[in-house]
A and B are shown apart, each in its own frame.
Chain A
């Protein structure tokens, strides 16, 4: 894209965070986990956490990425409390040696990726370990395959955080541990847990995560004895990522076909640690596509502010669907009855949502109003005294 230096202007950032102390956030909601896959997924998940923090809530969240650069920290001002700087602290970074060099170590992967890596030059993917999959979902899928053990440990840890309030620091003996574990399982079974995977459909890691994470999560939930849960997926794009790589539309299209395929047939997949996924479940219980069809506005490529605004909008929508009062129960109750069936063999499993919100910060209004009254009062008295 040609750059005209004459258009350079100062970056005006009303939300440019003033460094504020990072303090402990509010306690997390007990029944919700957000997992962000890739840069956009992580950015949206962090924003959802920030929205929750504004309302005095916490959300258990984590990010899975093969890009070491995490999302920018977000400053949240809470009424009557010091500002909170939120960063995505729970991140699994899949980095290391060039993943394609490791294929020969695993015949299973070597065989699988012969076809999947067809036509992707090694020049495009080397040496980029730790710097993202650069628009190739297959590379991120390979990262997941190679690091499945670490991924499972990370996700298991996040899921267990939901019950962390019930673990006792002093549980030393095997019997205590056993009883605590039983207690955790029973508590988890009593609640309807919601786990949501958020990721772009057009890049690398988000796309790969939507293929593989749902079934790994279902496996872990079964391992933890959690039966009552809902697994939601939020696929971001494609218009919102227009022009970021040459593969945006193709990756998105391939993902949707995969999701449709998995919604019909489930998944069978072997992992290098011996794990066998044989699932007749769809990838997600609910799948939302979130996009901004009008982007980009002014050029062939989305600008950074456009992308940031899209992430904000996506986070706001996800937060409302998953964590705001009676919003989803209200929609779900109205949608409980089946729609007029259309017998055309099409699987109608895609949803979208969009929210618009007017918000007033009463605490800030109180501050501004106090300052207004004080200034008026002082001026008035000053005029009187000087008369």
Chain B
């Protein structure tokens, strides 16, 4: 009796990161069948013929039975599945490309992945070969039966051989079965062929990536630098007229909004597009195009208030719970309210109105006495307009100040453009001179604060 020996348990086959990668995105040796699965998981159901059905459908059935080529119908499903798998692959590959801290460094990993994909391609290729052969066999047999069926054999012989078959000839039920088999095999052939195509592309693309990895990194980094420079120039240079009271920092806004970009998806798309165009030379252009589309997506649906809030995210810790839009509104109101377009004397009471102006006339703020008007245009703009109405000339502070200086200057030269006002001033001066020369008359008509306009019958206190 052999001594009992300890036999170590069979080690679990280790799964390499490359195999793990492939399994995660659905790339395995069953890929051909997988491409034929409906979104719900059930396999594609090819067209079938059934002799036991409605006799009225028999002529149509016979017509289909005589078709030289399979009906097919799996092509859209296979294409959709192929695209979905490809996107999953690109996205995962990008994650692996851009992630750090993996046990296996990138370059060995990519080499392993390439080898794994080639192994899968070979396996799938064998499956495709089997599917091709099976299909050809069924197709050839069916074609032979179809050809034989068209040869004249007399009415009775023909009908008998149609239904029951004969020497070297299938009966009708067998032919129907064969037709159904050919449809099934045609779908299989399509699935495995698509799988082979996909698995043939991927190792080649990886090979390109491996060959050019360093150059690609260098080129990409250089173009990233150019993009940063372009960004800085763009943010700085603004030669357009725009005398606005409040300027948002578009650079800050862009940084905040840029954080909302779906970088994973974008990078996956970028890698995929680079694979399509076969090089990294145009990576800056392609990234720019993707970025513009992403910027449009991010800005779509954001209104003026949303954009102000986005800018404020950069200083969220300083806001202390304040609403940034309200802060902007307060600043604008202060600008119009504390800096009116004139200075009035005490007691003057102009009619006042303050209006917030928004793109569509929907108010952004509420405040007692605040009205709302519309730009009536799709503008990202917020305005506050204050009007003061119905003030008389002598309620202006500057008309009270400097009256004496004006009169003194008028003695040197005329400042009126209208000759009747100039004449009235001279007449008044002449009268004042006469009063001075005539004792007893009040000489201080002007200096007691009364100024007479050129028009007769009007005096205004200033």
> Which A residues fall within an 8 A CB radius of B?
14-18, 20, 47, 50-51, 54-55, 74-77, 83, 112, 115-120, 137-138, 141, 207-208, 211-212, 238-239, 247, 249-262, 264-265, 288-294, 309, 312-313, 315-317, 320-321, 324-327, 329-331, 334-335, 339, 345-362, 364-387
Contact = CB atoms under 8 A, between A and B. Distances in A.
A115 B426 contact: yes
A50 B228 CA distance: 31
Contacts of A360: 248, 250, 304, 307, 380-381
Nearest to B271: A381
Contacts of A347: 392-393
29 contacts: A55-B379, A77-B238, A119-B414, A120-B414, A207-B417, A238-B398, A250-B410, A253-B398, A258-B416, A259-B393, A261-B418, A309-B243, A316-B245, A335-B351, A339-B351, A346-B392, A348-B390, A353-B385, A356-B332, A356-B384, A360-B304, A361-B240, A369-B253, A372-B231, A374-B287, A374-B288, A378-B221, A382-B220, A384-B98
Contacts of B394: 346
Interface centre among B228, B242, B343 (most CB of A within 10 A): B242
A76 B241 contact: yes
Contacts of B355: 327, 330-331
Contacts of B246: 356-359
Interface string B95-127: 001111000011000000000000000000000
Contacts of B47: none
A86 to B, nearest CB: 8
B406 interface: yes
The main secondary structure of chain A at its interface with chain B is helix
Contacts of A119: 412-414
Contact of A358 (B238, B245, B413, B415): B245
Interface string B362-398: 0000000001111111011111111111111111101
Given A77-B239, A327-B375, A366-B299, 12 more contacts: A17-B239, A47-B241, A54-B240, A54-B241, A253-B415, A258-B418, A324-B383, A329-B373, A330-B355, A353-B387, A378-B224, A382-B221
B423 interface: yes
A186 B451 CA distance: 47
A304 to B, nearest CB: 15
Contacts of B140: none
B129 interface: no
Contact of B396 (A20, A74, A256, A369): A256
B353 interface: yes
A373 B417 contact: no
A275 B324 CA distance: 60
A55 B377 contact: yes
A365 B252 CA distance: 10
A15 B239 contact: yes
Interface centre among A288, A293, A315 (most CB of B within 10 A): A293
B146 to A, nearest CB: 56
Interface centre among A361, A364, A374 (most CB of B within 10 A): A374
Contacts of B36: none
Q: Which 7 A-B pairs have the closest CB atoms?
A: A119-B413, A384-B98, A312-B243, A77-B240, A325-B376, A358-B246, A378-B224
B245 A352 contact: no
Contact of B235 (A50, A334, A352, A368): A368
B421 interface: yes
Given A289-B342, A320-B357, A371 B245 contact: no
B434 interface: no
Contacts of A291: 341-342
A47 B244 CA distance: 12
A110 to B, nearest CB: 12
A380 B383 CA distance: 40
A115 B16 CA distance: 106
Contacts of B228: 375, 379
Interface of B: 94, 97-100, 105-106, 213-214, 216-217, 220-221, 223-224, 227-228, 230-231, 234-235, 238-248, 250-251, 253-255, 257-258, 261, 263, 266-267, 270-271, 283-284, 287-288, 290-292, 294-296, 298-299, 304, 307-308, 328, 331-333, 335-336, 339-343, 350-351, 353, 355, 357, 361, 371-377, 379-396, 398-399, 402, 405-406, 409-410, 412-423, 426, 453-455, 458, 460
Nearest to A17: B239
A31 B213 CA distance: 64
Contacts of B267: 377, 380-381, 384
Given A254-B421, A325-B357, A120 B99 contact: no
Interface centre among A15, A257, A329 (most CB of B within 10 A): A257
B387 A371 contact: no
Contacts of B290: 373-374, 377
B454 to A, nearest CB: 6
B304 A380 contact: no
Contacts of B261: 373, 376-377
B457 to A, nearest CB: 10
B257 to A, nearest CB: 5
A301 B105 CA distance: 71
Nearest to A268: B420
A101 B258 CA distance: 69
Nearest to A141: B417
Contacts of A77: 238-240
B406 A250 contact: yes
Contacts of B242: 54, 359, 361
B419 A116 contact: yes
A347 B238 CA distance: 46
A372 B255 contact: yes
A368 B298 CA distance: 13
A50 B241 contact: yes
Nearest to B416: A254
A349 B423 CA distance: 25
Contacts of B257: 369, 372
Given A293-B341, A358-B248, A373-B294, A325 B239 contact: no
Given A258-B418, A360-B304, A365 B253 contact: yes
A176 B70 CA distance: 75
A331 B353 contact: yes
B421 A261 contact: yes
Contacts of B342: 289, 291, 293, 352
B208 to A, nearest CB: 12
A355 B383 contact: yes
A346 B391 CA distance: 9
A354 B386 contact: yes
Given A291-B341, A346-B394, A118 B227 contact: no
Interface centre among B246, B342, B420 (most CB of A within 10 A): B342
A357 B339 contact: no
A253 B258 contact: no
Interface centre among B266, B307, B341 (most CB of A within 10 A): B341
B373 to A, nearest CB: 4
B220 A385 contact: yes
Contacts of B357: 320, 324-325, 327
Contact of A354 (B328, B336, B372): B336
A239 B133 CA distance: 97
A83 B237 CA distance: 13
Given A83-B239, A291-B341, A365-B254, A351 B221 contact: no
